[in-house]
C-alpha cells in the first residue's frame, strides 16, 4: 500500500482556521473519490494524490508509504518550498516507481510501472505543512493486482431491465386502451343524446299537428 502523507508542526489551540472564505482545521490530503484500483499484473498504474491548504504552504514535506504487512516502507519523499513551485529533489526508494506530480492542481501522484502481485496493498499519501501546525494528514489508496480483470455478468441486470421495460410497455398499452374506450363511450353518449333530442323534436311536432286538427274539427259551423 502507498500512502501520501502531510505533516504539521505542533499547534497550541485546536481550533479551525478561517482564511479567504475557507474553513480548515489543517492540511487536507485526497486520493480521489474512488480510493482503490484493480489492475492487471504487468500493467502500469497511476496512484493519485492531491493536497489542499487554504492558507498556502511553505516547505511542505510529503511522502508515499507502502504498508508491508504492518511495516510502513517509504516509497518516495520530497519537499515543496512554496505554492506553485515544483518539489526539490524527489527521493525514490522503490523500483519501478516514478513521481509524476505537478504544482498544477497540487498533484503528488506517482506511477508504478509493470506492477506485480507484490505491489498490491495500501499506499499512504502523507504531508506536513509547517504553516499549519499541530497535525499530520494522510490519505490511503488501495491497489489490487489480478491475473485478468473480472468479466461482469450482466444477465441479472438484463433480466431486470427487460422486466421493467415490459411492465412499462404493458402500462402504456393499458392507458391507450383505457383512453380509447373512454373516447368511444363519449362518442356513443353524444350520439344517444342527439337521437333523444331529434326524437323529442319529432314527437313535439306530431303532437302540435294533432292538436291543431282536433281544434279545427271542434269549431261549430255558422248558421
Cell of 55: 492558507
Q: How confident is the model at residue 174, as a pLDDT?
A: 87
Residue finishing a domain among 130, 146, 162: 146
Written in H, E and C, the secondary structure of the chain is CEEEEEECCCCCCCCCEEECCEEECCCEEECCCCCEEEEECCCCEEECCEEECCCCCEEEEEEEEEEECCEEEEEEEEEEEECCCCCCCCEECCCCEEECCECCCCECCEEECCCCHHHCEEEEEEEECCCCCCCEEEEEEEEEEECCCCCCCCHHHHHHHHHHHHHHHHHHHHHHHHHHHHHHHHHHHHHHHHHHHHHHHHHHHHHHHHHHHHHHHCCCCCC
Domain assignment of residue 223, yes or no: no
Q: How sure is the predictor about 5, in pLDDT bands with cuts at 50, 70 and 90? A: low
Write the pLDDT tens digit of every residue in 136-189: 899 999 999 999 877 766 777 778 888 888 889 888 898 888 888 998 888 888
Does residue 190 share a domain with residue 85? no
Q: pTM (2 decimals)?
A: 0.60
In a domain, 209, yes or no: no
- Residue 100 in domain: yes
Q: Are residues 27 and 93 in the same domain?
A: yes
Residue at 168 is within a domain: yes
Given the C-alpha cell 261549430, which residue does it identify?
Answer: 220
168 & 141 share domain = no
- Pair 46, 122 in one domain: yes
User: What are 57-81's pLDDT values in tens digits?
Assistant: 999 999 999 999 999 999 999 999 9
Q: Does 217 reside within a domain?
A: no
CATH of the domain at 25: 2.60.40.10
For the chain, the average pLDDT equals 82
* Residues 193 and 123 reside in one and the same domain: no
- The answer to whether residues 158 and 139 belong to one domain is no
| Domain shared by 39 and 64, yes or no | yes
pLDDT per residue as tens digits for the range 89-121 = 999 999 999 999 999 899 999 999 999 999 999
Q: Residue 182's domain spans which residues?
A: 154-204
Q: For residues 2 and 11, which has the higher predicted lDDT (pLDDT)? A: 2
Closest CA relative to residue 6, chosen from 29, 24, 22: 29
Instruction: Please check whether residues 99 and 19 belong to one and the same domain.
Output: yes
Are residues 50 and 108 both part of a single domain? yes
Amino acid at each position: 500500500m502507498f500512502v501520501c502523507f502531510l505533516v504539521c508542526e505542533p499547534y497550541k489551540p485546536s481550533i479551525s482556521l478561517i482564511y479567504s472564505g475557507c474553513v480548515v482545521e489543517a492540511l487536507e490530503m485526497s486520493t480521489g473519490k474512488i480510493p482503490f484500483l484493480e489492475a492487471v499484473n504487468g500493467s502500469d498504474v497511476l496512484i493519485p494524490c492531491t493536497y489542499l491548504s487554504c492558507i498556502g504552504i511553505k516547505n511542505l514535506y510529503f511522502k508515499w508509504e507502502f504498508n508491508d504487512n504492518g511495516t510502513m516502507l517509504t516509497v518516495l519523499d520530497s519537499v515543496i518550498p512554496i505554492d506553485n513551485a515544483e518539489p526539490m529533489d524527489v527521493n525514490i526508494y522503490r523500483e519501478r516507481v516514478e513521481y509524476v506530480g505537478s504544482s498544477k492542481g497540487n498533484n503528488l501522484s506517482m506511477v508504478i510501472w509493470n506492477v506485480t502481485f507484490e505491489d498490491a496493498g495500501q499506499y499512504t499519501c502523507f504531508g506536513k505543512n509547517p504553516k499549519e501546525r499541530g497535525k499530520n494528514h494522510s490519505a490511503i489508496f488501495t491497489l489490487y493486482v489480478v491475473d485478468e480483470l473480472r468479466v461482469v455478468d450482466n444477465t441479472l441486470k438484463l433480466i431486470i431491465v427487460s422486466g421493467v421495460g415490459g411492465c412499462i410497455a404493458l402500462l402504456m398499452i393499458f392507458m391507450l386502451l383505457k383512453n380509447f374506450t373512454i373516447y368511444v363511450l363519449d362518442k356513443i353518449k353524444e350520439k344517444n343524446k342527439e337521437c333523444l333530442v331529434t326524437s323529442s323534436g319529432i314527437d313535439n311536432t306530431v303532437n302540435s299537428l294533432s292538436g291543431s286538427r282536433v281544434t279545427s274539427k271542434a269549431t261549430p259551423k255558422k248558421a
